[in-house]
């Protein structure tokens, strides 16, 4: 192999590796759960409602999922459990307790506490998770 052919092959291999890395970085996958009901019994977030999540708007997060109290009773309908992964490009979103909204730091998408898109570029809502309440114990799976 001539030197010129070797350098061309090396350049092409480098470009292929770079493009593959960029494609993987821009994919929607992340270390967080894929979203939605996981179908299993894995507890992603749990809390004791006698001492945690007392006030409307309070929240707890774990394993890429956030649990927010949206109402004043201890009914499942007064809580929201959502993925913290933006549906646009997979960035981790931030919850603003004061405005009760999520904002993606990467591209500016905004979501409400039920996961609905308030502002794009995200087109899909945040995935929801199953909430179970038994006594004062709340779990998200």
Q: Tell me which of 16-25, 42-51, 75-84, 85-94 is least confident.
A: 16-25
Per DSSP, 50 falls in state T
Bridge partners of 137? 48, 134
Rounded to a whole number of angstroms, the CA Rg of the chain reads: 21
Of 141, 90, 81, 93, the residue nearest 118 (C-alpha): 93
pTM: 0.69
Query: What's the pLDDT band for 83 if we cut at 50, 70, 90?
Result: very high
DSSP state of 126: P
Q: Please indicate whether residue 55 or residue 10 has the higher confidence score (pLDDT).
A: 55
């Amino acid at each position: 192999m001539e030197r010129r052919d070797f350098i061309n092959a090396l350049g092409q291999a480098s470009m292929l590796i770079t493009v593959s890395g960029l494609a993987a970085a821009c994919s929607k996958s992340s270390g967080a759960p894929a979203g939605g009901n996981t179908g299993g019994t894995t507890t992603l977030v749990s809390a004791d409602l006698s001492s945690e999540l007392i006030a409307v708007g309070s929240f707890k997060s774990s394993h890429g999922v956030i649990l927010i109290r949206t109402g004043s009773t201890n009914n499942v309908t007064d809580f929201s459990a959502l993925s913290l992964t933006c549906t646009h490009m997979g960035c981790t979103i931030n919850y603003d307790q004061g405005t009760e909204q999520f904002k993606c730091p990467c591209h500016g998408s905004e979501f409400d506490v039920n996961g609905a898109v308030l502002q794009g570029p995200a087109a899909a809502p945040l995935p929801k998770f199953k909430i179970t309440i038994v006594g004062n114990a709340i779990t998200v799976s």
